[in-house]
């Protein structure tokens, strides 16, 4: 039976259109999902939207709409962006779906039966921006510590979940499970947070103040707190309390990819909710950093959004994907600027990869009538091709440890090396001498096969470009190399006619002479 791989994104609030930050998370997940599909694993990739709570109720009200109707008309913005960016998800989850409501209510009933829920007065502060409760001591200058936004003082009867009871268990679990929270700095942040006493979680809102939520089971007076509802998606999306067989197949999730802004919800609330219900832990919580603009987090509520649609249309989806995946090490923040995208486009993409394709295909056209030449017996031990073939294990290792930037760095070393190889071997001079004919054939065969190997590795990152290279070389696409020895085979075949095609990364319109 094929190994399964279940990967999730956060569920995004529908109060505004998605921006570069949301695009980043989904591009990361899509890259990992594609990588695992190419390994022939059974992949389930889930993304979706978070549609309840004060923030959405308010956004709908501002538009003079009912919350559900408001959410419905926001969905196409997400779906169309994911389509544009080539995000191949398997399921789009909405927290307003009927199947989800059942799972959330079931979890609450289970917790009640376990004695982990009680009713009490809540006194504290609530931030609508982050939809999170804070104690007085957590506020920073009287504002929300996570978003800097306004907080409201709340004093009301509510239901509580006994999180405090599980604090010691969680500390122990995190300490004993390396890699549960990645990167380490985020793991340390959570362990630091858990040094303080852990407060119980207020999990309801009185209906008279907020009616837009999942009803609390057996009560007309309360709706469930939006985060408690939303986190449950990760199990309800794969059949919890609905389809035992599906749930058994996919759970535990292999990775929940999130931004560092929602680390506490995922690394404290969620594991404790699961533990209390007797459900297995997800294998990993992977928190990436923030894209910033002029030093501030790109955020819809700050209004400094960077539009992924415009950038993808201007530079191409693959260039946008490449920029996001390559610019920062996963986990760290990245300062966004369009100049940086342009720089990457001109150098890595157009000059290195695009040029390598163009010169190789042009020379095969010119010297061999567009057919891949027959290599001599020594081609198999060629140093460039050996470097290319040696990438299988390190690229795999980088991807399995969630370091897409390292994987791209390794691939680009060989792409650059291949361009040097052209300079060193000077095919144009070989073509002038009769004695250079075989060497010329060898060099062009090696370049074509190196490109095929690079395209094979690049499929998860730059799906469109990789597919172009593979189909132009008359190879099948997708091209899966399941093992090291598969990858060490020659991919291209001599005598096959290739198609040079247009430039992979054409000169930018505003730079064309």
312: tokens are 């993808």
Nearer to ligand ME8, 26 or 450 (CB): 26
DSSP secondary structure, 25-39, as one string = HHHHHHHHHHHHHHT
Nearer to ligand ME8, 20 or 479 (CB): 20
Nearer to ligand ME8, 5 or 270 (CB): 270
Nearest C-alpha neighbor of 171 from the set 145, 144, 146, 198: 198
Nearer to ligand ME8, 239 or 259 (CB): 259
Least distance from ligand ME8 to the Cβ atom of residue 321, Å:
15
* Count of C-beta atoms within a 10 Å radius of residue 126: 20
Query: What is the sign, positive or negative, of the torsion defined by CA atoms of 325, 328, 332, 336?
Result: negative
**Contact in structure between 36 and 43 (CB atoms under 8 Å):** yes
Least distance from ligand ME8 to the Cβ atom of residue 32, Å:
14
Least distance from ligand ME8 to the Cβ atom of residue 294, Å:
12
H-only helix segments in 401-436? 404-425, 427-430
**Contact in structure between 287 and 259 (CB atoms under 8 Å):** yes
**Contact in structure between 73 and 29 (CB atoms under 8 Å):** no
DSSP secondary structure, 304-328, as one string = ----HHHHHHHH-HHHHHHHHHHHS
Least distance from ligand ME8 to the Cβ atom of residue 204, Å:
18
Nearer to ligand ME8, 210 or 415 (CB): 210
Least distance from ligand ME8 to the Cβ atom of residue 333, Å:
8
Nearer to ligand ME8, 335 or 480 (CB): 335
Nearer to ligand ME8, 305 or 466 (CB): 305
Nearest residue by C-beta to ligand ME8? 21
17: tokens are 């259109």
User: 3-state SS string over 70-89?
Assistant: HHHHHHHHHHHHHHHCCCCC
Least distance from ligand ME8 to the Cβ atom of residue 80, Å:
17
Indicate the DSSP class of residue 215. Answer: B
Least distance from ligand ME8 to the Cβ atom of residue 104, Å:
12
**Contact in structure between 214 and 104 (CB atoms under 8 Å):** yes
Residues 6+ apart with CB under 8 A from 146: 127, 129, 130, 132, 261
Least distance from ligand ME8 to the Cβ atom of residue 182, Å:
15
Nearest C-alpha neighbor of 91 from the set 303, 278, 239, 272: 239
In whole angstroms, give the CA distance from residue 451 to residue 414: 10
Least distance from ligand ME8 to the Cβ atom of residue 71, Å:
12
Least distance from ligand ME8 to the Cβ atom of residue 427, Å:
44
Nearer to ligand ME8, 265 or 453 (CB): 265
Is 29 annotated as ligand-binding? Answer: no
Nearer to ligand ME8, 233 or 425 (CB): 233
Indicate the DSSP class of residue 91. Answer: E
In whole angstroms, give the CA distance from residue 21 to residue 302: 13
Nearer to ligand ME8, 9 or 450 (CB): 9
**Contact in structure between 172 and 190 (CB atoms under 8 Å):** no
In whole angstroms, give the CA distance from residue 71 to residue 59: 10
In whole angstroms, give the CA distance from residue 149 to residue 130: 8
Residues that bind ligand ME8 (CB under 6 A): 10-13, 21-22, 24-25, 50, 230-231, 233, 258-259, 261-262, 290-291, 297-299
Binding residue numbers: 144
Binding residue numbers for Zn(2+): 144
């Amino acid at each position: 039976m094929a190994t399964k791989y279940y990967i999730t994104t956060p569920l995004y609030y529908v109060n505004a259109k998605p921006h570069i930050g949301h695009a980043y998370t989904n591009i990361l997940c899509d890259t990992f999902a594609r990588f695992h599909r190419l390994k022939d694993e059974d992949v389930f990739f889930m993304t979706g939207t978070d549609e309840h709570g004060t923030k959405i109720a308010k956004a709908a009200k501002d538009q003079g709409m009912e919350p559900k109707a408001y959410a419905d008309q926001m969905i196409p913005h997400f779906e169309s962006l994911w389509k544009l960016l080539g995000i191949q998800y398997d399921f789009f989850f909405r927290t307003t779906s009927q199947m989800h409501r059942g799972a959330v209510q079931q979890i609450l009933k289970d917790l009640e039966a376990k004695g982990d829920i009680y009713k009490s007065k809540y006194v504290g502060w609530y931030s609508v921006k982050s939809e999170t409760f804070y104690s007085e001591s957590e506020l920073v200058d009287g504002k929300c510590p996570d978003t800097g936004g306004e907080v409201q003082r709340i004093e009301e009867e509510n239901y509580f979940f006994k999180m405090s009871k599980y604090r010691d268990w969680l500390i122990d679990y995190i300490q004993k499970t390396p890699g549960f929270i990645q990167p380490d700095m985020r793991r340390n942040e959570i362990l630091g947070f858990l040094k303080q006493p852990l407060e119980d979680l207020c999990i309801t809102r009185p209906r008279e103040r907020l009616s837009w939520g999942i009803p609390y089971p057996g009560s007309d007076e309360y709706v469930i707190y939006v985060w408690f509802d939303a986190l449950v998606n990760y199990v309800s999306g794969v059949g919890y309390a609905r389809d035992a067989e599906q749930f058994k197949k996919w759970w535990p999730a292999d990775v929940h990819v999130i931004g560092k802004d929602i680390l506490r919800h995922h690394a404290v609330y969620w594991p404790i909710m699961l533990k209390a219900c007797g459900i297995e832990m997800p294998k990993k919580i992977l928190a990436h950093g923030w894209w910033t603009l002029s030093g501030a987090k790109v955020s819809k509520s700050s209004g400094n959004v960077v539009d992924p649609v415009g950038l993808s249309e201007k530079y191409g989806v693959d260039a946008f994907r490449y920029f996001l995946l390559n610019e920062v090490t996963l986990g760290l923040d990245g300062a966004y600027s369009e100049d940086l995208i342009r720089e990457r486009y001109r150098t890595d993409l157009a000059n290195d990869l695009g040029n390598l394709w163009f010169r190789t295909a042009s020379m095969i056209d010119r010297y061999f009538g567009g057919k891949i030449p027959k290599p001599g017996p020594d081609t198999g031990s060629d140093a460039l091709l050996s470097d290319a073939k040696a990438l299988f294990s390190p690229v795999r290792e980088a991807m399995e440890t969630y370091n897409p930037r390292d994987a791209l760095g390794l691939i680009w070393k060989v792409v650059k090396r291949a361009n040097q190889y052209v300079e060193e071997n000077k095919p144009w001079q070989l073509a002038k001498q009769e004695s250079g004919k075989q060497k010329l054939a060898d060099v062009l065969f090696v370049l074509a096969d190196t490109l095929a190997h690079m395209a094979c590795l690049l499929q998860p990152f730059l799906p469109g470009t990789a597919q172009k290279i593979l189909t132009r070389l008359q190879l099948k696409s997708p091209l899966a190399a399941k093992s090291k020895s598969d990858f060490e085979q020659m991919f291209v075949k001599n005598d096959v006619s290739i198609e040079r095609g247009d430039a992979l990364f054409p000169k930018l319109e505003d730079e064309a002479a």
